Structures are given as C-alpha cells and as structure tokens.
Structure 1
C-alpha cells in the first residue's frame, strides 16, 4: 500500500543514500515528458525536504530546460536489492549552472568541493510530498559498478571541448526550450 509523507524520515534518507541509481522526471507545458536515470554517486540529501544532485554533461539537457520553463520535478528511487520499496519525491526543482553562486555553495557544502569531469549543473529539489509504494513488481538486480565512460569522455574533452559540446548539444531542449546552461 502506498503512503504519503510531508518529509523524508530517517529510514527514507538511509534508503536514498544507499541507492546506486535514481530517476528524475520533468515536463514543461506543451513539451515532451522527460525521464532520466542518474548514477555516479551524485545524489545528496540536504534536509528532510530537499535533495540535490551534481549533473555532468550529457547528450541532452531536458531537465534544465523544463525546470526553467515550469519547475516541476519528481525524483524516484527503487530498491533493486533487499526489501522492496519505491520512493518518490514531488516538488519544485532549480538548475544551478556550474560557476553560479548557488552551484559553488552546494559544491562546497554537499560535495566537499569535489567536481567530477564534465560537471555542468547542480539540480536542487525542494519537495512537499514524499510517496512510498510497495515495489513488489520491481525486479531484483545486483549492482556491479558505476560506469566510468561518461567521466572518461568528459575528461578527454577538456574545458574548451566541453564548452563547444554544450553549445551544440545542451543549449536547447528537444522542443527548442532554452536550458540556461550555455552562456556566450
């Protein structure tokens, strides 16, 4: 049976901290719904009503565009090992582009000033609803390891290469919405 909460409990926080993958969903009016998997130990719990993750350069930037246009954001994590559980966080998200004051503050406080190759933004979710459900239909799978491919690729690009890549691939969403991640 599903349950709802106003805040994350300590058990919820422990569950989130243990997950190797989570999913983020966004939508802007008239745009496609986007659903993205996240990994690489990038999720941080800021409080019982806020989380963030450090996002690295990828082939698209739907989340940033949708947050700029609408702000709605859902994060979901599933137990693929151990006891079944699905946990969702519903709220409003903010994209903090690399180099912004908000980015720098969270990089310092939540990530100990450790920035992975290709870092492009920190996404913060302030949520007002936590929902859990049984997760009985989620398969059991064993974690092997994080893929290093994206980080290795980003490291090989260097700052100039990443800037050029973002200008080409991360300036607008699939629906032409600006992401706010690319500056002149």
Structure 2
C-alpha cells in the first residue's frame, strides 16, 4: 500500500499545505529518539526536494543536537480530515540560526512568531505515502496561543535566558550549540 517518491510532487505539496499538524523525528547515534508534534504556520515546501521548518522555543532542543550529530530527520504528516493518507519525508537537515548567512532570506518566508529559535533546512531524499485508513477523524478547532503568549511575555532577553538554561543540551547531554 505504500509508495515511494524521489521528490515532493505537486499532489504531495498540496496535501502538506492543508495539514494543521506534523511530526518531527530525529535520533542520536545512541540515546533517545525524539518524536515531536508541531503546528502553527511553520512549514514551507521550497522545492521538490527542499523544505523548511520554523522552530520556536520549547522545553528542549533535541532536533538541533541530533542533526549536529548525524543530520537524519523524518517528518510525518497524517490526514485527520478527508481522504486517509500518511506522508513521510526522509532527509538530511541542518540548523539555521539568526546571524547565519541565509537567515534573512529564509525568515521572511514565515510570519513573525514570538520565540523563534531556528529554521531547519531539510533536503528531502525520499517521500513515502501510506494508507492511513486506521487513523481517526479529528475536527480542527483553532490554533493554541499559549506558547506565543508565553514567548511574547518573556521578550528577547527572557527567551535568551531560557535558551541558556534549558536549550543548551539535549536530554541525553548532547550539545545544541544554540548560542554559539
């Protein structure tokens, strides 16, 4: 039932653009696998083999630590409305931080978001669809604003302090180099 692709087709891109949630998975060479749900207006298909994900401040910074070690990443989209479908993007990712050469060009592709931490630039090596026929229907109500409200309340200084205290290493102790 699954089908592999060497690129993001226009049909796959349309599916991605209608999703309200996606999941990001990375893993270090040894240690815990990280799998996190993501939302907001934070994902862009740039070309048939390149996507961007705007990452905001959160409780951890696992993706950055894992990508520094081995750069493997999988992103999964799952239809909770309409026709059943699961889409996985397999690729190699790299972190782009404010001050990096391409930051200004890329950040303008996203809405201004409080607590923006980094952009992950992902080269898609393959895509895979599968049926998703066992996935239940869920009705989308709205975005949650708690994280944006918290980040706006912290301000730049508070976010920087939080990064220093909470986002310098992964849960397995791997460095993130967030503030380098």
Q: Secondary structure at the match of 1:52?
A: strand
Determine if the alignment matches structure 1 residue 134 to structure 2 residue 136. no
Within-5 A mapping of 1:25-44: 25-44=25-44
The root-mean-square deviation of aligned C-alpha atoms, in Å, is 0.9
User: Displacement, 1:99?
Assistant: 3.0
Which residue is 1:53 aligned to?
A: 53
- Tell me the number of residue pairs that the alignment of Structure 1 and Structure 2 aligns: 180
Displacement of 1:102: 2.2
Aligned partners of 1:25 and 1:2: how far apart in 2?
19
What is the CA–CA distance in structure 2 between the aligned matches of 1:174 and 1:158, rounded to whole Å?
A: 25
Give me the whole-angstrom Cα distance separating, in 2, the residues matched to 1:98 and 1:142. 36
2:100 matched residue in structure 1: 100
For the residues of structure 2 that align with 1:57 and 1:182, how far apart are their CA atoms?
A: 13
> TM-score by structure 1 length?
0.95
Q: Which runs of 5+ in 1 are unaligned?
A: none
Gaps of 5+ in 2: none
Q: For 1:154, which of 135, 151, 155 is the aligned residue? A: 151
Counterpart CA distance in 2 for 1:99 and 1:20 is 29
1:79-118 → structure 2 map (5 Å cutoff): 79-108=79-108, 110-111=109-110, 114-118=111-115
1:158 CA displacement: 0.7
1:171 aligns with 2:157: no
1:182 CA displacement: 2.0
Does structure 2 conserve the Cα–Cα contact (< 8 Å) formed by 1:97 and 1:180? no
Equivalent in the alignment of 1:22:
22
Q: Deviations over 1:101-121 (max 9, x none)?
A: 22222112x22xx42100010
d(CA) in 1 for partners of 2:99, 2:57: 14
Per the normalisation by structure 2, the TM-score is 0.97
Give, in whole Å, the separation in 2 of the partners of 1:98 and 1:179: 15
In 2, distance between residues paired with 1:141 and 1:3?
25
